[in-house]
Structure 1
Amino acid sequence: MRQKIQEFIALGTHVGVLVDPRTRTMEVYRLNQDPVTLGDGDIFTAPELLPGWELPVVEIWAPEFD
């Protein structure tokens, strides 16, 4: 998946995101930048696509019920 995302970025995609629910992380890919790994305490933004929009990473995981 990482290689495929990097291919899309090379072809002009602005942002690629690999979500891994097992580790509760998101890897964010952008052209000419190293991938950034975000976790529960981080906020994902994509100002090049959605200026002003923010998503706390912790909010993408399904709630757990006891």
Structure 2
Amino acid sequence: MPKHWSEFVGNPEVVVRVKAWADAWQRGNKQKPLLLYGPAGNGKTTLALLCAREMNWQVFELNASDFRTKD
């Protein structure tokens, strides 16, 4: 798990956009929600957790699979 933005291995343009989004929230500028999507293994969760760590935000993680019922 990377500890800083510079350690994240992935699409640099996406990292810049996520960082700008998070920085705007930190300054008090409300932003539209951020949706990370793509195939498994592309770093979506890692990027989200890194963003939270860098911004010192608390993480509240939900997984839709946890709420499915067996019918």
TM-score, with normalisation over the residues of structure 2? Answer: 0.29
**Greater helix fraction, Structure 1 or Structure 2:** 2
Between Structure 1 and Structure 2, whose CA radius of gyration is higher?
Answer: 2
TM-score, with normalisation over the residues of structure 1? Answer: 0.30
Higher relative contact order (Cα pairs below 8 Å, separated by 6+ residues): 2
**Greater strand fraction, Structure 1 or Structure 2:** 1
